[in-house]
Structure 1
């Protein structure tokens, strides 16, 4: 393992140099030796795209480090725990630094030390020499590093090379507004005094549950760059919204700063005749005293600040409810089936979307105690809690917090009043509130947003910029159209699953899966009508597939939940909300969604800290019985682990082993398992995944007939390696379009059975309910290829024509399998020769040429053409004239009767 690091308490020059070093050492791991400056955490937390994949020091095995790349320092004591690597045998040490030599400096196997203003400038000069191109984000970060260490080129240590480096970075697309935001400038004594006064004359107001800071200051003269002091105060005190009224000389200024969407600085400034953006704005106030302006400002803030109605955003819907007459045993079954801790009790729940008449709540604790006291047959209505409070869909966080924290209510029903009767439209739990408080970065200190934990700090963030960078224009327009249709039919639409996952991984994925809160079939039909597309619906599962005119398919599903009546059984599906729909998914990294409706387009939804698992590159199930309820997830976990280069978490591995031990051989059968195996065998180099299957003890369950292959021995690995060689050869030979028509998975599956009889392959097909088409092809390919291999082994000196007739009736998959099982090199060479040179050979003459000789079509007509083809294949003829001569020579020796028959077409 290679590691790139910098000194403890890393600054921007250290961070930028680490990112720069990654360009030279692309396989190296980025690790902070210790804590970084607070502004570094702010910078990394502000990054929405997880560009810089830092690893936690505690998760690394330092004894495995073979090369250590240290930037911006040569002092060993500034590496903290990473000093341990220096004792590793054979360690290769590379040093990049701009500081003068000092006692105790490390000596590296490679050193690049220049006395420049910053270490980043050293890397920029290397990039210029090697013609390495940077992205705009990389150039911006490196510009910050240079500006910080040179004091924006005002420090005495600044050199011409630093200025040249900054100019080159600007040409690479560095964003100066970002540089300006993060580069700190030392304050003068006068500025320090002003900042102190600004802090002293500030007051905090809570308006609509939002904290707003208002400062009021009077100065005798104009102070330059006062807005920078307001920004400095905002950063120092970690404030969300600041409004500073400052009277300088005879003028009154209003400086507005906000970093939360609930407070629009531009709106407030425009009300005073000024202008600006939502995050930064200003105004010059005329004809008002500072006190009058403050009073008007407060009035505007109370009028303009409107926190979003959180209840309808975080509630779970539709609600699972019970009626008062059901028994405690029945309530226990409902709580277990839907993984709930409590149930609202209603008078009428025939309308599952909006149950009516809330009567009370029954908790799991009460139900379990009642059953323990032999009261399982008692009606729920006898023991439910009736003193409960409800909220409307427009309730704010403060309302939710008051009920759950102050009134100790574990579950809040969200109701909608209609025709003098309340319907329950959702519920909010304590966990929902906790997630909101923990994951909202606007309500926690920025210093807590460690760089090694981002981007999981936000449950939702707008990733429109990332979508634009990763997806093509046509896909962006298509997603926007989907959102507009959702608005038109009054539904919410999201793109979910692998699409959202790969988007954050900055990988292009055109498998678009849409989940709709509403009716997915109605939505699909409305969208298809606008695109003149075809739609195929599946009423049982409330899903549809839209096929566009260009052949692209879009899968649409109604938000739903699933529960399993028994382990490994097919799921029972019910309509639900997006949150519960995501909760039923296999792994956290596949449980994210992106809003498509125009008002929230590009907003990422992450209820389960999926971004954190994505950053850590780990696969984690959403609940502990996941593999028991659906054992096919075991195969998906192994497949995703290899494809994405992730790792299954230790806890999830334990759950897999538990599920394998629980399920007997007969439960690992059926078409669903075959489809998962086929997907594994369709991945590049599936041998790694097969070894993982063996590691979990699945081989005896999946292939009980393959007794010699219950362990992946050397011979087994050899056959799979031969399969990969044959497939690689085929891929290299043909264009990608041709490769699509070759089922590589079947080649690998046949390689698995290469040491088995046909009957064992038939047993496999029976056990996994392999579709008839695949079953027929698999058996035919195995039989034909093995028969041909035996024939070619007996006849090593085959003519080209003999190879042609022997292989002409076997498809690509069969040919590749033949190469896998070939025991001699000449057999593989014969197959290669057939595919590349012989298969597409056609006779130099046609039936028309024979007709022109006066011959009539008949049984011997084809014989003549085949004989000509054989002569071609064997290199005996190379032109049409030579081919016609062969025909004449073949006709002359014929008997009179045979020649007459040929002339008459018999």
Structure 2
């Protein structure tokens, strides 16, 4: 018997990958997990007659020769399928893996690993289908497209590549319906999820850790509730932190669930949660600990983050050191000539102690020129209210300022003196570099 499996607790990307793998390996049986991500349940319910998924119990007494694994490369995440068999994944004759979690180590011996740094695992499967010139049904294209949208955050996650966009385009050409995809992606439909959302929101703690804006929350619930992941995603949308960690103590079962989400490559959720036996993506992951942690675990976890996180890029890292300035007592004529020489449209103004007192621009100078007052001192026409950064200002602070203010250059100040300047282009260059 030959089978196709995905990771336990199947999500949309996993289900979509399994469906497409069925086209590449038409004689293989697709085995589903007992556990399903709440959002993915919509797919299973809507396409119940379309999907020919089997439960692991049909493997009992079967001799498994070949296995195709999608959306994971770790044996721990597929072990549930072999509970019904008399041997482990390592005993199978051939294992082929299609997976995009490049940060994870492959612990399945002799496996043939087909991997790419790509936003959605479905996109890897689509490339294989295109290579083999295989077409698919509109229903299966819709299921797969939902997986691409889910794992790329509708093409907004930093892990998104041009291959993901190409995959989406191909799936639409196969008849995928965007209207259905939109409905499949809607989280938090249950009243219990909304109650859980408010419970988590009321217990949010904000921490600035090594320049990162981190949200944490600890809640305790009597038993496991479906849809916790969707609650975490909603809080990420509402609060927009760099990362969010929800720690859920589950009394029944005496266990703790840690769910993490990140918006920064430098906060690698998969690596952080490996310490607790978890994993996932760079931007999303979870861990289940067979111990009921109390509220005090939050302090331990914050300490762990302080020891593990890479410090955030600051204004001190982005700024240009050599800053052109002009004295407040210089004339507008001097300032005009100076700005022309340095080919700038403005610059910081300092006093005799080299302390920042304002900013002068060509627009300010033009006001003096129109009044024939070019011999007036710069301090008479400069802008005195100046937006500034400190050396430790985070990228988040910089982003907020450039997004909300119509300013192209912002001085970096230490002890009232200008030590650098950050431009809008410096910020954009950093964002582009961070995506590589």
TM-score using structure 2 length: 0.46
Higher relative contact order (CA 8 A, sep 6+): 2
More strand by share: 2
More helix by share: 1
Report the structure number with the largest CA radius of gyration: 1
TM-score using structure 1 length: 0.25
